[in-house]
Chains A and B, each alone.
Chain A
Amino acid sequence: MRDFKHFNAYSVDEAVALMGRYGERAAVIAGGTDILGKMKDSILPAYPEALINIKTIQGLSEIKESGGMLNIGALALLADIAANPVIKSKYAALAQAAGRTASPHLRNMGTIGGNICQDIRCWYYRNQNNRFSCLRKKGGRCYAIKGDNRYHSIFGGSVSGGCFAVHPSDTAPALVALDAKIVTSSRTIDVEKFFEVKPVKTTVLKADEIVTEIQVPEPAAGSSSAFLKFALRKSIDFPIVNCAVMITLRDSKVEKARICLNAVHVIPYRAVKAEQVITGRVIDEAAAEEAGAAAVSEAKPLEHNKYMVAIARTLVKRAILACAGK
C-alpha cells in the first residue's frame, strides 16, 4: 500500500469534520475488509490521502431492541448480528444474511455499515492498477457489455446507459425486505433510497456523511422472513444471486409481502411484481412458482448471464416457501 495519513475519530462529529476537511480525498475505514483490498490493488484513479478510522467511536456497535424497533449500530459486527438471539428469532432474514456473508474471519471484522456501503466487485472495475477506466471511474465505457459479463446485471445497467456491475451485499436485500431505515450523521433514509449508482459511489452518502445506525421496525404479528443465497462456494464467496423475503400472513393468506433480490442489478432489486402475485394467496408450491416467474418477468440478461435468471426465479420461490416453513 502507498502512504497515507491516518486519523482515529473519537466521535461522529469528529469523523464528519475530518471528512469535511478532506472531502473526496479521504476514505472511511471501519472493518477495512473492502477499502484495504481496493487500496492494495490501486483500483481507483485517485488514491486516498487520508483514512479516517471510525472504529474508535464509542457506542456505535450496540444491538438493542426497544419499543418495536431494532437498532443496530453501524459498527456492529456481522458475526454478532448472525448470532444475536433476538435477530435470529424475529428478523431471521437479517441473521441468515449476516451469517452467510464472506467467511467466519471476515464476519469477525466486517461491520453491517460497511456491508451496505461496500463497493462493487465487477472484475473490470476491480482490475489492478486501474487497468480498465470504466464508467464507474468516470471513464468512457462499460467493458462488461462486450466482455465477460457472466456475473453482471440481468435487469439492465445504470449511469447513462452503462454500468452493469451488480451490488454485492448480502445484508442489503434482507434490510430491504425488512423495510429498514438507515440513519446517517445528518439524516434518516429509507433503505430502498439509500443505494445510488454514480462514479466511485454506491450510496447516496455525501462526502462528509457516515452511516451511524440501522433501524429495523418489528415485523407485524404473523410475519416471517427468510434469506437464501446462491454462490459458487459455501464460504468466502460473493453471491451469484441472493434473495430475502418477508411475508405477513393473516388467516393463512398473504397480507403483505416484501421480496428483494440482490447481485442481479446495479442496486438491490425489489421484485414488486412477485409481491403483487403472492399477495392475497395461500402459500403453496404453485403460488411460489408463479411469484418466482413474475420476479424475473422484466429480466433482460446479457450474453453470458442468462443462467442467473433461472437462479433468481428459483430463489424467490424457495425463499417464499421457506417463509411458510415449507
Chain B
Amino acid sequence: MNKEIKKYVCPYCGEGFDTTEGLKGHVFKTHKGHGLPVSEGGIRLFINKAEYELKVEPNWTLHYLIHDVLGLTGSKQFCDQGACGSCTMIVDGKPVLSCMMLAIECDGKIVETVEGIAAEGHPLIESYAKNHAMQCGYCTPGFVVTSKALLDRNSDPNEEEIMSALAGNICRCGTYPQHVLAVREVAQTLKQEKKQVRG
C-alpha cells in the first residue's frame, strides 16, 4: 500500500502539502485571521511596524518581552500591578497596560511603543518637551503613548476628554495640568497641518 506522505500538514484542517510555499498559500487563503502557524511557544506580532517571530515563555509579560528581551526600553515598569499606566503600549489601536498582558497571548497583535511614536516624528514628543509636561520623566512615556492613542481616535479633544483619557496614568511629580496643554497644542498643530494639506 503506497499511502502518499505529505511533508507539511496544515495545523488547522490537517490537509497535507509538499512545500512550505503550498502550505503558506493554503493558510492565507482558507484560514485568514488565524495567521500562519508558528512553532510551539512562538508568536508572530508587529512591533512599531516591523514583523517579529519570537519564541516566548508562558510567564513573560508583553512588557518583559519588549523591554528586557528586545531592548526597547522606552516603556517603564513601575507598579507591575496595572495601577499606574507607565508601561502603556498601544495594542490593536487601544492603549493597554503591557505589564498585565502575557506575551504568549499577543500572537497576531499590532503593538506600538513610545519608540515607534518618536520614530514617526509625532508632534507629541516636541510638544511634551516644550510644555515641560514632566519632572522626573519616569511616567512620561506612558502619558505620551496614551495621548497618541487618544489623538488617533479623536484629533481635537477638549480638556475633559484629555483628562478622562489620561485618567489611568499616574504622575507622582504632579505634572497633570501640563499634559492637557501639551495635547491641546498638538491638536492645534494637526488641525493646521490638515488645513495646509487641503489648501
Q: Which residues of A in the span 94-140 have a Cβ within 8 Å of any Cβ on B? A: 102-106, 108-109
Pair B167/A32 contact, Cβ less than 8 Å: no
A123 CB → nearest B CB, Å: 13
Q: Which single residue of chain A is at the shortest CB-CB distance from B104?
A: A6
Q: Which residues of A in the span 12-45 have a Cβ within 8 Å of any Cβ on B? A: 29, 32-33, 36-37, 40
Given A40-B80, A104-B168, A106-B82, do A4 and B59 touch, yes or no (CB 8 Å)?
yes
Given A2-B59, A3-B57, A4-B58, do A105 and B105 touch, yes or no (CB 8 Å)?
no
Cβ-based interface call for B187 (8 A): no
- In Å, the complex CA distance between A36 and B58 comes to 12
Kindly identify which residue among B59, B81, B146 contacts A105, using a CB–CB cutoff of 8 Å: B146
- Complex contacts, A2 vs chain B, CB 8 Å: 59
Q: Which residues of B in the span 60-111 have a Cβ within 8 Å of any Cβ on A? A: 61, 80-85, 88, 94-97, 100-102, 104-105
Cβ-based interface call for B30 (8 A): no
- In Å, the complex CA distance between A33 and B168 comes to 14
Pair B102/A105 contact, Cβ less than 8 Å: no
- Complex contacts, B82 vs chain A, CB 8 Å: 33, 36-37, 102, 105-106, 109
- In Å, the complex CA distance between A130 and B167 comes to 31
A96 CB → nearest B CB, Å: 14
- In Å, the complex CA distance between A315 and B167 comes to 23
Q: Which single residue of chain A is at the shortest CB-CB distance from B60?
A: A1
Kindly identify which residue among A6, A29, A79, A106 contacts B97, using a CB–CB cutoff of 8 Å: A106
A47 CB → nearest B CB, Å: 11
- In Å, the complex CA distance between A236 and B142 comes to 15
Cβ-based interface call for B170 (8 A): yes
Most buried by A among B82, B84, B96, B146: B82
- Complex contacts, A104 vs chain B, CB 8 Å: 95, 146, 164-165, 167-168
- In Å, the complex CA distance between A230 and B188 comes to 36
- In Å, the complex CA distance between A234 and B97 comes to 19
Most buried by A among B58, B59, B100: B100
Cβ-based interface call for A326 (8 A): no
What are some 28 contacts across the A-B interface (CB < 8 A)?
A1-B59, A1-B61, A3-B57, A3-B59, A6-B58, A29-B102, A29-B105, A32-B105, A33-B82, A40-B80, A40-B81, A53-B102, A103-B167, A104-B165, A104-B167, A105-B88, A105-B97, A105-B146, A105-B168, A106-B100, A108-B96, A109-B82, A109-B96, A234-B167, A235-B167, A235-B168, A236-B167, A236-B168
17 A-B pairs besides A40-B81, A53-B105, A234-B167 with CB distance below 8 A are A3-B58, A3-B59, A6-B104, A32-B100, A32-B101, A33-B100, A51-B58, A102-B82, A103-B83, A104-B146, A104-B164, A106-B100, A108-B95, A109-B96, A235-B168, A236-B167, A236-B170
Which residues of A are interface residues toward B (Cβ below 8 A)? Answer: 1-6, 8, 29, 32-33, 36-37, 40, 51, 53, 55, 79, 102-106, 108-109, 234-236
Which residues of B are interface residues toward A (Cβ below 8 A)? Answer: 57-59, 61, 80-85, 88, 94-97, 100-102, 104-105, 146, 164-165, 167-168, 170
3 A-B pairs with the lowest CB-CB distances in the bound complex, closest first: A103-B168, A235-B167, A6-B58
